[in-house]
Structure 1
Amino acid sequence: MDDYPLLDLFWTMLWFFLWIMWLFLLFKIVSDIFRDHELSGWAKAGWLIFCLLIPFIGVLVYVIARGTGMTERDAARAKETEAAFQDYVRKSASGAGSPGGSGAGAADELARLADLKAKGALTEDEFQKAKAKILA
């Protein structure tokens, strides 16, 4: 430890963290290349080869050329994910779309079953089995 001064240790750690940050950026760029639906297959292959064969320059050029689009695609993807999640929560909360759901969906199913039983389309035994299935 005596032959490795503290300043050299700090310098080494700085380069190590810069290398890790560059790796994160490279993975982000590679995932953006594959997720971009506007790029053709050849363009994706070209960017990927450019970023892997000449890594530092390729990553820098990609960020300069397509950095704004990368941010916009991430924001759009986040909005789509949030909208899908909110739709799922709404469907789950209302019980719609789930055969064994609770809440309004189960109440609607029970009302429909009672109506079918009143019309004579279901026997008492069929009604009880279907009711047990919905409430389970």
Structure 2
Amino acid sequence: MNELARPIAATDYPLLNVFWTMLWFFLWVLFLMVLFRILADIFRDDRLSGWGKAGWSIFVIVLPFLGAIVYLIARGRDMGERDLRAVQKRDDQFRAYVRDAAGTPEHTKTDELVKLAELKNHGDISEVEYQQAKTKILA
């Protein structure tokens, strides 16, 4: 059999080489994740001008290792703060949506009865008016 056409057996690739291959592959995937996160942060930042976004993008794409390190040193702290603000904004929007979808009334029956009792205690309405309004609220 021809030496070049021989299939690679498991014994031809030692375990240590498998480990190093996997390590480099996962580091490469990790680096790509960092690059995408940096690019997303560049375009998410409202305080950065269009020229600033273009400059950082070109720097990170043309010189990815150096660009990523410089970006993380220069703007890494703000990156976390922007993420936190974005998460809080999404949480507030979700809570507002749930409140609207659930149709939670602003005033409950208890609140209305308390206001009605205060009106009666101050003498603004009579006992008969109080009973009529109370029946209407509880119905």
TM-score range, shorter chain: 0.5 to 0.7
> Which residue in 2 is equivalent to 1:5?
14
Could you tell me how far apart the structure 1 residues matched to 2:16 and 2:69 are?
Answer: 29
Aligned sequence identity (%): 54
- Runs of 4+ with deviation above 4 angstroms: none
Of 23, 43, 57, which residue of structure 1 is paired with 2:32? 23
Task: State the Cα RMSD in Å.
Answer: 1.4
Q: Which amino acid aligns with 2:27?
A: L
- TM-score, structure 1 length as denominator? 0.68
- TM-score, structure 2 length as denominator? 0.67
Of 47, 53, 74, which residue of structure 2 is paired with 1:38? 47
Please list every run of 5 or more consecutive structure 2 residues that lacks an aligned counterpart in the other structure: 1-9, 109-139
Of 48, 52, 72, which residue of structure 2 is paired with 1:63? 72
Could you tell which deviates more after superposition, 1-10 or 39-48?
A: 1-10
Please list every run of 5 or more consecutive structure 1 residues that lacks an aligned counterpart in the other structure: 97-103, 105-136
Could you tell me how far apart the structure 1 residues matched to 2:73 and 2:11 are?
Answer: 43
- Could you report, residue by residue, the CA deviation over 1:79-121 in whole angstroms, capped at 9, with x for unpaired residues? 000001101111111178xxxxxxx9xxxxxxxxxxxxxxxxx
Q: Which amino acid aligns with 2:54?
A: A
Count of residues paired in the alignment: 97
